[in-house]
Amino acid sequence: MNALKNLINTALAVCAVVLIEPAQAQILSVNAYLRALKLPDGFLPSLEQCSPYHAENPIRRHDIAVNTIYTIDGMENDLCALHITGVTNSSVEIHQDCQLPADVAKTYAHALKRFIDKRYHPLHDENFIERDEDYKAALKIMTDTKYCRFSRAEIDNTAVIRKNLPSCLPAEQAETSAGMIFTRRIIGAERNLCKISFVAEKYDGLDHVMLKNVPPKEENDYPDDFYLAYDCSFTEQQVQYYLRILESEVVPEDDDFDYAPIWHVSPDEEVRFLSDVCDVKFHK
């Protein structure tokens, strides 16, 4: 049972997709691997000259799908317009939008080029990265609010359930996350208890339009017949406790360049609570 809990925890976790090294994530190479930063061919020369550019970097690792989209509009009102968006199939969507003077765009491109050429590994070279002068130069530009704005989309997969939970009104909401689909359902009140179900199943769909170019997977993280269902009858006190758990899993939209809140979302408490108070079955 503990192994099963760990499997569900991994699938539910927003950080199932690795955002490599906070500042590298801000440069926006969203990735499914811990490896050296790599930007698409032609991006840095285009940034240096601020010439129009568009490229995608779709990546698949088993059931994890990510894509990073790079766009340079060119010079607009004497500023270089740069847009980078990173999306995953775990509800993470982050954006970097910059308006850079021509000389700053060139400096940014040169600093990134020198930094990439050093091929730092984010797992083993963290201390070197933080002290690297090119890293610090790129970081200074991308975190200067005169030039760049970062945004992280809200992560909230239970709004409908939370709205109806206090009154135990029938409702249903699905959440997809890296090869799994989780369906939370309020069935309704019965004998002063609130009947609720939580179902986890294998799911191969990629619902985000920006993930359409992700290559097909060669391996699965979960068996095709994976199925787990919790059937719950909550007291009023348990309803309130479950509501607090779901509220704690929401990550609000933020304009800051700090994506640390993404790492703080954990499904462990929800799974542990359901395992303790609900009936469970492993097959349809």
Query: And the tokens for 183?
Result: 């369906």
Q: What is the pLDDT of residue 180?
A: 84
To the question of pTM greater than 0.75 for the whole model, the response is yes
Q: What is the pLDDT of residue 39?
A: 86
Confidence of residue 55 (pLDDT cuts 50, 70, 90): very high
Q: What is the pLDDT of residue 232?
A: 96
124 neighbors 94 (Cβ within 8 angstroms): no
Mean pLDDT of 32-60: 86
Q: Which amino acid is at 129?
A: I
Q: What is the pLDDT of residue 11?
A: 47
CA gap 208, 88 in Å, rounded: 8
Name the more confident of 234 and 118: 234
Element (H, E) at 96: strand 93-100
Whether the predicted pLDDT of 54 surpasses 90: yes
Whether the predicted pLDDT of 43 surpasses 80: yes
CA gap 253, 179 in Å, rounded: 24
Whether the predicted pLDDT of 205 surpasses 50: yes
Give counts: helices (H), strands (E), the chain: 10, 11
CA gap 101, 107 in Å, rounded: 10
Kindly report the average pLDDT of the chain as a whole number.
82
Domain boundaries, the chain: 2-10+156-252+263-281, 16-152
Mean pLDDT of 21-34: 51
Q: CB neighbours (10 Å) of residue 107?
A: 17
Whether the predicted pLDDT of 269 surpasses 90: no
> What is the share, in percent, of the chain residues with pLDDT greater than 90?
39
User: Closest by alpha carbon to 281, among 198, 195, 171?
Assistant: 198
Query: And the tokens for 223?
Result: 């068996």
40 neighbors 51 (Cβ within 8 angstroms): no
Name the more confident of 34 and 200: 200
Q: For residues 119-142, b (16+ Cβ closer than 10 Å) or e, as one string?
A: ebebeeeeeebeebebbebbbebb
Confidence of residue 249 (pLDDT cuts 50, 70, 90): confident
40 neighbors 126 (Cβ within 8 angstroms): no
CA gap 215, 224 in Å, rounded: 19
139 neighbors 23 (Cβ within 8 angstroms): yes
Whether the predicted pLDDT of 175 surpasses 60: yes
15 neighbors 266 (Cβ within 8 angstroms): no
Q: What is the pLDDT of residue 226?
A: 82
Q: For residues 82-92, b (16+ Cβ closer than 10 Å) or e, as one string?
A: bebbbbbbbbb
Q: What is the pLDDT of residue 13?
A: 42
Q: What is the pLDDT of residue 261?
A: 55
Whether the predicted pLDDT of 19 surpasses 60: no
Q: What is the pLDDT of residue 266?
A: 55
Residue 41 CB burial class (10 angstroms; 0-12, 13-18, ≥19): exposed
Q: By three-state DSSP, how is residue 251 classified?
A: strand
Query: And the tokens for 37?
Result: 């930063």
120 neighbors 128 (Cβ within 8 angstroms): yes
Mean pLDDT of 120-127: 74
Mean pLDDT of 147-168: 92
